Chain A
């Protein structure tokens, strides 16, 4: 069990550019979540997958955001035409889901800075 990993850890981009983040969950976990955390706030739910199916998306996830989990393992979160308001920490978490454990294991996050 190597834990949840995220890549990159930091990303600086110019406004208008596209960025993509990757999350590798704990291998046997079937649920994967994306959260966004801005300074001084708690994490806010963005979207989640059960295996490869995206089951829920928050209204925070505008049309510029897209997430995939093509083979039910790793996931990517893409932000198109970035805006300064997108600057935040993007957190990924995974869980066994439906087994009664309910614990979500978080990765270290990807800090995005849009200049």
Chain B
């Protein structure tokens, strides 16, 4: 089964700076890689799908890239509302399962 590993566990960045979050798969996966943002007390929100497509309403400062086993979420010019925990997720068709990474806390 595919295991998704995110790094770093915690990333400290100042507003206005760029943040790069990494998600690695234990085996080569398709580009069906999604990123979610979760703020305290809130449900997760879809940010990126298909490795690089922004979800509806997501600002252009969010971008996704990668393929194979390594994927990156980049946030340019960090805003105060961007802080929270980010999860990557991949769907694997066999065995059928959705695999989440353990999360990166952006503070």
Asked if A pairs with B, the answer is no
